[in-house]
Amino acid sequence: MTMKLAISGAAGRMGKRLLALSDRDSEFEITQAVEWEGFPLIGEGINERELLAPRAAKVTWTAGLKPGADVVIDFSSPAGVVANAKIAAAAGIRMVAGATGLDATQVEVLKKASEKVAVMLAPNFSLGVNLIFRLAAEAARVLGDDYNIEIVEAHHNQKVDAPSGTALGIAKAVAGELGRDLGRDLVV
């Protein structure tokens, strides 16, 4: 059975990669390439040469998520993830959200959507980074309150959010292990 995918944030770095990878796998059918309302290519076909995705070339760019997909994979923005979570919940579309920078109110919208459809939210989907989350928690447990923990990060010059979702994920793992309140104890 083919899984129908909507990729939100499809023109971004992760979106383009997801389009190209899912296009090469016959178990997936790309049904939507979703971007923001003012995106200049809305209604036009996907550029096969740029994305290296020949099967996806029949898909046009859409503004906002539309019913018809089985799963939306969203690496857009906090506002985009929230808007899509509401649409996905109403339409019965499962959601994978990888956008970072969501505040507590926005995360709450995803939790509410998860009462109706499966929602997976992660600050980073890399196996190695998720191992780092676990190792950071273990280091915090071993070191305890006798040590201050500092997270320093560097990124490419197009990085939108700082601290990144990955850095915040490490901080959350450490805070959770030490019984700290991330909102109260995190210094940025």
* Catalytic positions, written as ranges: 155, 159
Question: Comparing C-alpha atoms, which of 4, 2, 5, 82 is closest to residue 36?
Answer: 82
Query: 97 has which bridge partners?
Result: 74, 121
Cis bond before residue 163 (omega within 30° of 0): yes
Angle separating helix axes 78-91 and 104-113, nearest 10 degrees: 20
Give how far the C-alpha of residue 128 lies from the chain's centroid of Cα atoms, to the nearest Å: 17
